[in-house]
């Protein structure tokens, strides 16, 4: 094999190796929060329901 061909193959392999290792993976998308059913609204709804139940049972 010609030294130019060997050098070209070595450079090509090295280039593929560097490009393959240096590419960063895509970041995972953050899960979207549901504005209609947030944790705070669930807590306040649960407190309200608990209050209604305790009022109904104390009659």
Q: Give percent helix, percent strand, percent coil of the chain, each to the nearest 5.
A: 70, 0, 30
- How far apart (Å, rounded) are the C-alpha atoms in residues 53 and 59? 10
> pTM score, two decimals?
0.38
Tens-digit pLDDT profile for residues 12-58: 999 988 887 766 677 777 777 666 777 777 788 888 888 888 877 77
Which pLDDT does position 23 carry in this prediction?
67
Burial 4-40 (b: 16+ CB within 10 A, else e): eeeeeeeeeeeeeeeeeeeeeeeeeeeeeeeeeeeee
């Amino acid at each position: 094999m010609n030294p130019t061909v060997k050098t070209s193959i070595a450079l090509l392999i090295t280039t593929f190796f560097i490009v393959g290792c240096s590419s960063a993976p895509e970041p995972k998308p953050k899960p979207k929060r549901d504005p209609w059913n947030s944790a705070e609204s669930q807590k306040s709804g649960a407190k309200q329901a608990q209050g209604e139940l305790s009022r109904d049972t104390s009659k």
